Amino acid sequence: MVRRRKRLLDTETILDAALACVDNTGRLAMAELATRLGVSTSSIYHHFSGRTAIIEALRERMATAIDPPPLDGSDWSEQVGQWMRGYRRALAEHPSLIPLLNEQTMTAGSVLHGYERIAILLRGAGVPMRDVVLWISVLDCYALGAALDLAAPDDVWRPERDDLPTLVDAITAAPRGRDRADEAFDVGLDALVTGLRRRLGAD
């Protein structure tokens, strides 16, 4: 009688399968993950304490694709912009992961270190301590929305009707697909930075 060899698990194999589950179904269930891996659910618990820990590990993995601000004395807005672009790109590769990341408290170390650098930049720009997390939240919201926009279909709007003439003309005049998403991101990021500069100047 031939014995089947047990599949050897490691954290990276589990994370690869978890990300595939999320990409394919938009959810992460331990039973489905175990089925994909061809193992028992208890085998996964030898490596991760549960679903929350796996999602945080996926957040940590995502952070490796984002270059943290260097804090090299260059303009704070350029550093924030560079971080935002990397953040958007990383999220857009796995848009179905975004709701799962948002549903739980962030604990991933390298991710928090990235936010620490953003906090340092904002404080250096003159943002009051009380407002630092508010502005980080604003940047977060923008990056998340921009990532979903980047992952959207080329034709976001298709108004096949006669009572929307201005919208139809605007869609016709605008770039399409990735070009539209990239230009829209740059316009919005510039507006955020300009708004923050004016707010600091007024204060």
Report residue 155 as tokens: 């034709």
**Residues 193, 138: contact at Cβ < 8 Å?**
no
pLDDT digits (tens), the chain, 203 positions: 444 445 679 999 999 999 999 999 999 999 999 999 999 999 999 999 999 999 999 999 999 989 889 999 999 999 999 999 999 999 999 999 999 999 999 998 999 999 999 999 999 999 999 999 999 999 999 999 999 999 999 999 998 888 999 999 999 999 999 999 999 999 999 999 999 999 999 86
**Residues 9, 37: contact at Cβ < 8 Å?**
yes
**Residue 172 CB coordination number (10 Å):** 8
All domains in the chain, ordered by first residue: 72-202 (1.10.357.10)
pTM score, two decimals?
0.88
* DSSP conformation letters of 69-113: P--SSS-HHHHHHHHHHHHHHHHHTSGGGHHHHHTS----HHHHH
